[in-house]
Amino acid sequence: MNIILTIIKREYLVRVRKKSFIVMTLLAPLLLTAFYGGIGWLAVGSVSQKKVAVVDQTGQFAGNFKTDKETKFTSLSTTVAQAKARFVEDGYDALVIIPKDVIEHPKTVQIFAEKSIGGNLKGNIEQAISKEIEIQKLTKLGITQQVIADAKVNVDAETISLSELGEKKTSTLTTSIIGGLCAMLIYISVLLYGTQVMRSVLEEKTSRIIEVIISSVKPFQLMMGKIVGVGLVGLTQFLLWIMLTVGLIWGGSAILGRDMARNAAKARMSTTMSAKKADEMVKAAEKPGMMAGAVAALKTLNLTLIIGCFLFYFLGGYLLYSSLYGAIGAAVDSETDTQQFMLPVTLPIIACITLAQFIISDPDGPLAFWMSMIPFTSPIIMMVRIPFGVPGWQLALSMLLLVLGFVGTTWLAARIYRVGILMYGKKPTYRELSKWIFYKA
């Protein structure tokens, strides 16, 4: 046991003392926020308004299309031939021809462009024409636009969780985001830190240092020391990330709250603006901002359970997969040879991320249940489900099966590790690996 602790300490301290670890631990939350914020800003800022010319042969739609930030409609009073000849020169991105019988045959609308148009522009044009056809048909039936506008109602339902502990408000959007984020973090950590274990084993094997180490340490002790040591590095990094993220959220919320209170006070004290305008500013200032709304939504979740389960499934998933990665590193002589063995190991993880969106839409379905029980998929899928609420017996059974899965994969990996760690100059096959498992010590 002392030997394993010594290896754990060495693997942990070597990685934690690196400047790259310190820098990435401190900057990762900020870099991720800036990265996704930049993507969102670019996605929104890169959308330019498209100019669309409309030739309305019915005479009923001209001037009725509403211009918005994405699409600007201009009605032309020219013939179709003239419009087709000049719309590109006049700076239009598309030309829409509305035939006379469009109400009876809506699929006869034509869109001309110098080159193929994007899906958003086509959708905006089709939606605008469909809306006008709908209005025309309802108008013929004596239903005015005012009646149509009054009939439209936006329902914003409040979701409430009803359990033995009583009623508690929930946020479906926040629940989905937290579940998806936890799943993505485990996915990244398993690949990142599992690969580190494999490379560490492979590096010591190719440099022949392992021959010296193995003279005083058993292969199983060396493998377990590496797995646990690298796992503790990942756990330390995630704990620091959680604390930094929570600090940023609460700090931003406090600053935002002070700014809103200051603006509200200025609005009340203002004597140069109308009373109505001052009341509007006060009401706007008293509304929770984006950061405050996010904090309020997070308070509806059982964060203690989510964080505790995240740490358990992070460790369980990492230990399960890293033992297999360690066995792969011991079985081959170069990193290029690892590809044939890594694919079967990473396929379950990739399947989890691919199916996560379906699990979010139906967190209590049979697919979600069985994938949260299988040890190779439960670390990611169960973390998607937990924010939505999981029965206690399902959570306990999933944890038990994950522990048993880790024990089984560790035994399997150790059998391969003890033989492969001293095997040189030969590319192993799956058949040979199966033989290594049953070799007698």
Q: What is the pLDDT of residues 189-225, one digit of tens each?
A: 888 888 888 888 888 777 777 767 777 777 777 778 8
Query: Within 13 A of 167's CA, how many CA atoms are on the CB side?
Result: 4
Domain boundary among 151, 183, 207: 151
Q: Cα separation of 316 and 231, whole Å?
A: 10
Domain limits for position 201 = 191-257+302-437
3-state secondary structure of 150: helix
- The reply to whether 229 and 374 lie within a common domain is yes
> Is 185 within the bounds of a domain?
no
- The reply to whether 102 and 251 lie within a common domain is no
- The reply to whether 218 and 355 lie within a common domain is yes
Cβ neighbours for 67, distance < 8 A, ≥ 6 positions apart: 73
Report the relative pairing of strands 94-98 and 50-56 from DSSP bridges: parallel
- The reply to whether 335 and 199 lie within a common domain is yes
Cβ neighbours for 53, distance < 8 A, ≥ 6 positions apart: 74, 75, 76, 83, 87, 90, 92, 94, 95, 96
Task: Return the pLDDT at 403.
Answer: 92
Residue 135 Cα distances to 73, 97, 99, 148, 154, angstroms: 18, 19, 17, 8, 19
Host H or E run for residue 159: strand 159-163
- The reply to whether 144 and 201 lie within a common domain is no
Percent of the chain with pLDDT over 90: 6
* Res. 65: pLDDT tops 80: no
- The reply to whether 219 and 316 lie within a common domain is yes
Task: Return the pLDDT at 158.
Answer: 63
* Res. 265: pLDDT tops 90: no
> Is 200 within the bounds of a domain?
yes
Neighbours of 289 (CB within 10 A): 15
Q: What pLDDT band is residue 255 in, cutting at 50, 70 and 90?
A: low
Task: Return the pLDDT at 129.
Answer: 82
- The reply to whether 216 and 315 lie within a common domain is yes
In the chain, the number of structural domains is: 2
* Res. 147: pLDDT tops 70: yes
Residue 186 Cα distances to 261, 362, 368, angstroms: 39, 21, 17
> Is 282 within the bounds of a domain?
no
Better-scored residue on pLDDT, 381 or 152: 381
Task: Return the pLDDT at 373.
Answer: 93
Q: Cα separation of 197 and 204, whole Å?
A: 11
Per-residue model confidence as pLDDT tens digits over 305-327? 888 898 899 888 888 888 888 88
User: Does this model's pTM top 0.75?
Assistant: no
Domain boundary among 100, 129, 151: 151
Q: Cα separation of 56 and 47, whole Å?
A: 27
- The reply to whether 246 and 345 lie within a common domain is yes
Better-scored residue on pLDDT, 302 or 96: 96
* Res. 34: pLDDT tops 50: yes
Q: Which two tokens stand for residue 434?
A: 């199966």
> Is 3 within the bounds of a domain?
no
Domain boundary among 99, 120, 151: 151
